[in-house]
Amino acid sequence: MDLSTEDLRDDAGVRVSSRSRNLFLDRKKKSIASNRTKLTNNNKKIDSLVGLKKEKFMLNDAIYKLSLPLPLPSSSYLSLLSSISSTYNIFGKYLNFLQPDFLTLTLQRTSIVQAFDWIIPIIQKNPSLINRLPPR
């Protein structure tokens, strides 16, 4: 009996030739391989989308945290800082630096109108600083 025409029975008990069965098995293997490839590609897409969502969430979380008011330092730290500042006049020295000019660098980042809350008390304490302010 020739192997290509040999009769075999499939799972349902129907006679199937060896060649038909081999063709069926080859197609099934190719289909399984194709499905595995598609599944792998889909898993990669899902992983990349999850990664993007995670990065977007982290970015939004960071932006949200930046929008929150800064926590206030402890009162002991503030008292220590104020005593050091008054002893060594750090604030006055800091404002009088010309290289780099911290006052104008800070004002370049914000408009003078936005800086009124903090610039007016500084100029009241040291009126000579008004000459360093940029013109309108």
List of long-range contacts for 32-38, beta carbons under 8 Å, 24+ apart: none
Reported pTM: 0.34
Distance from C-alpha of 48 to C-alpha of 42, rounded to nearest angstrom:
10
Q: What are the Cα distances from residue 74, in Å, to 5, 17, 101? A: 91, 87, 30
Average pLDDT over residues 24-46: 88
Distance from C-alpha of 67 to C-alpha of 10, rounded to nearest angstrom:
69
Adjacent-strand bridge partners of 16: 8
In angstroms and rounded to an integer, the radius of gyration of the C-alpha atoms of the chain is 38
Q: Give the pLDDT score at 19.
A: 85
Q: Where are the domains of the chain?
A: 3-67, 75-132
Q: Give the pLDDT score at 10.
A: 62
- Residue identified by tokens 């197609």 is 27
Q: Which residue has the higher pLDDT, 11 or 51?
A: 51
pLDDT digits (tens, 9 = 90+) for 80-126: 988 888 888 887 777 777 777 777 888 777 777 777 888 888 888 88
